[in-house]
Amino acid sequence: MSSPSAQKPYVSIVLPCYNEQGHVADEVERICTAMDLSDYDYELLAIDDASSDETLARLQEIAPKFPALRVIHFDRNGGTGTVRRIGTQQAKGEIVVWTDADMSYPNERIPELVQILEKDQTLDQVVGARTSEQGTHKVFRVPAKWFIRKLAETLTNYTIPDLNSGLRAFRRQVALPYMRLLPPGFSCVTTITLAFLCNQHDVRYIPIEYSKRSGKSKFHFFKDAYRYILQVLRMVMYFNPLKVLMPVALFLIGLGVAKGIYDMVVHPFLFAVDTVIILLSGLIIASMALLADLIVRSRAD
């Protein structure tokens, strides 16, 4: 924890703001009140992502009331991932907190997340795991998120209670090398989770309540769910390609061997063309997996 006289804040809170004019002032006040009651020096980076409403005006209006508030404006919309990446890179604090400005996350608990990191130096990230789903398209959203989360758990060998929670605190120096990997959209939170887990950084989950968001959701189910799946596969391929490619290769090789045995029984000394294709496909993918793994291990992140 930093002392009151320290020049640099201990905590930097990155708050993406896009068309949140009706409640952004309340969210800023809630965050600042919670942090003021704590012993942590902090800064709140409220980044207006080229909002088309009065979000920027609201932030500029309330800025004098909150000394820790830094208002940053983007001239063009870059997406929440871009906001969080640039906010993290510009942050001055040792601990960076990501959250949303839509009143859905219990931002009054931010000091609790920071305290967990402060007390346990072996941890690199603390994530608020939501205990309920309040988003739109719940009939599609819940099973889709479950499938993506289970896919990520299988590929990383970790239990992940909430893969894409928007409320998290992490050590800035640990996260900086992974900032270049963040996509511009919502899957940035999935990316930072997988980047930490795949690189053996300790992540702890704490249960949080999740409220119905204020304002209009920017989440597009089909497009963003597709992006989430691609991002999970991309991140695991980036850090552990054997996890993705080798099971496919071994399946094809096994299938080819079984098909070859069948061919030998039915047509002695004659292999079918499809048997050869299956075996060669498996061997090619296995070679690609080993080559990709060699590249990953020789790469200096």
Task: Give the C-alpha separation, 154 to 37, whole Å.
Answer: 41
What is the reported pLDDT for 5? Answer: 39
| 175 burial type by CB count under 10 A (0-12 exposed, 13-18 middle, 19+ buried) | buried
Quick one: average pLDDT of 161-165?
Answer: 90
For residue 295, what are the CA distances in angstroms to 174, 180, 286, 288, 289? 22, 18, 14, 10, 10
> Cα separations (Å) of 285 from 179, 246, 248, 255, 257?
30, 7, 8, 14, 16
Burial environment of residue 184 by CB neighbours within 10 A (0 to 12, 13 to 18, 19 or more): middle
Counting Cα atoms < 13 Å in the Cβ hemisphere of 96 gives 23
Task: Please give the pLDDT value at position 239.
Answer: 83
The whole-number average pLDDT for the span 210-236 is 70
pLDDT number for residue 218:
53
Q: What one-letter code names the amino acid at 132?
A: S
Predicted TM-score (pTM) of this structure: 0.81
Span 226-235, average pLDDT: 78
- Residues 93-100 have a mean pLDDT of 97
Q: What is the pLDDT of residue 179?
A: 94
- pLDDT of residue 251 exceeding 60, the answer is yes
- Mean pLDDT, rounded, of the chain: 88
pLDDT at 7 over 50: yes
Q: How confident is the model at residue 155 (pLDDT cuts 50, 70, 90)?
A: confident
Number of Cβ within 10 Å of residue 141's Cβ equals 16
* Residue 135 or 213, more confident: 213
The mean per-residue pLDDT over the stretch 191-217 comes to: 86
* 148: pLDDT strictly greater than 90: no
